[in-house]
Amino acid sequence: MATQLKSYNFKEGEVLLVDKPLNWTSFQVVNKLRWKIKHKIGVKKIKVGHAGTLDPLATGLLILCTGKFTKKIDDFMGLEKTYSGTITVGATRPSFDMETEIDQTFSTEHITPKLIKQTAETFVGEYNQMPPIFSAKKIDGKKAYDLARAGKEVNLKTKRIHISNFEITNINGNQVNFIISCSKGTYIRSIAHDFGKTLKSGAYLSALRREKIGKYSVNNAKDIEQWLNEIENCTFVHQPNH
């Protein structure tokens, strides 16, 4: 069955919904698709940017804007985001996720499914969140994770965030599956870490997927190979030279 070719105007602006794969940085996704667009339309430069970083260890929705639509990136970044994932309780890692090795283990004997669900409810609303030291937050012009990896002291400030929903979807031993909706600038890794402390144990984020950004869903996104194929085979609007 023939597929109808879609027409794109990358210079005037397009919004591309990408399902980011595991172990790719958001920057790598932008670079890959920017390169493909440039070669497709025969230009040396075109603006392509993403609306909100996803860590390499996370998958899911990454919104890319091209051309003049890069001016809309801040609007997208301000939208509420929804994630699904897994928190592993009973241990901590310095990065609050799988990037670093376990540094401490804790008892989980007192933790019941009821306590887990009650604890999740206490996170709904506003609270001051401490970002992970293994984050891209800047300190005197340097990224926190560069300082942390070099074994240097990292002093970050808390940020006021809002969580509108924190639902526990499944509990299997020390693996806690969840869905969470939150404001811009929220670190799910920090929520996992704080979740462990609130349980009087330890916890870290072991899996994360971004499901939604505002009304935009990962269900409507294409993976990188699909986008490369789409761009290769699409028709595009030729623009006059200004």
The one catalytic residue in 55, 75, 97, 140 is 55
pLDDT at 152: 81
Structure tokens at 148: 């942390």
pLDDT, tens only, 140-153? 788 877 877 787 88
Confidence of residue 228 (pLDDT cuts 50, 70, 90): very high
All structural domains of the chain with their residue ranges: 7-78+217-236, 81-213
Please indicate whether residue 103 is annotated as part of the active site. Answer: no
Confidence of residue 187 (pLDDT cuts 50, 70, 90): very high
pLDDT at 156: 82
Q: Is the pLDDT of residue 155 over 90?
A: no
The rounded distance, in Å, linking the Cα atoms of 239 and 12 is 9
Confidence of residue 242 (pLDDT cuts 50, 70, 90): very low
Q: Same CATH topology for 7-78+217-236 and 81-213?
A: yes
Of 75, 72, 71, 105, nearest in space to 88 by CA: 105
238: Cβ contacts below 8 Å, ≥ 6 apart: none
Tell me which CATH code domain 7-78+217-236 carries. Answer: 3.30.2350.10
Q: Is the pLDDT of residue 1 over 90?
A: no
Q: Select 81-213's CATH number: 3.30.2350.10, 2.40.30.10, 3.40.50.1980, 2.60.120.10.
A: 3.30.2350.10
Alpha helices in the chain (DSSP H): 26-41, 73-77, 113-122, 144-149, 188-198, 224-233
pLDDT, tens only, 4-42? 668 899 999 999 999 999 999 999 999 999 999 999 999
Residue that wins the pLDDT comparison between 4 and 164: 164
Beta bridge mates, 180: 83, 166
AA identity, residue 160: R
pLDDT at 145: 75
What is the overall mean pLDDT for the chain? 92
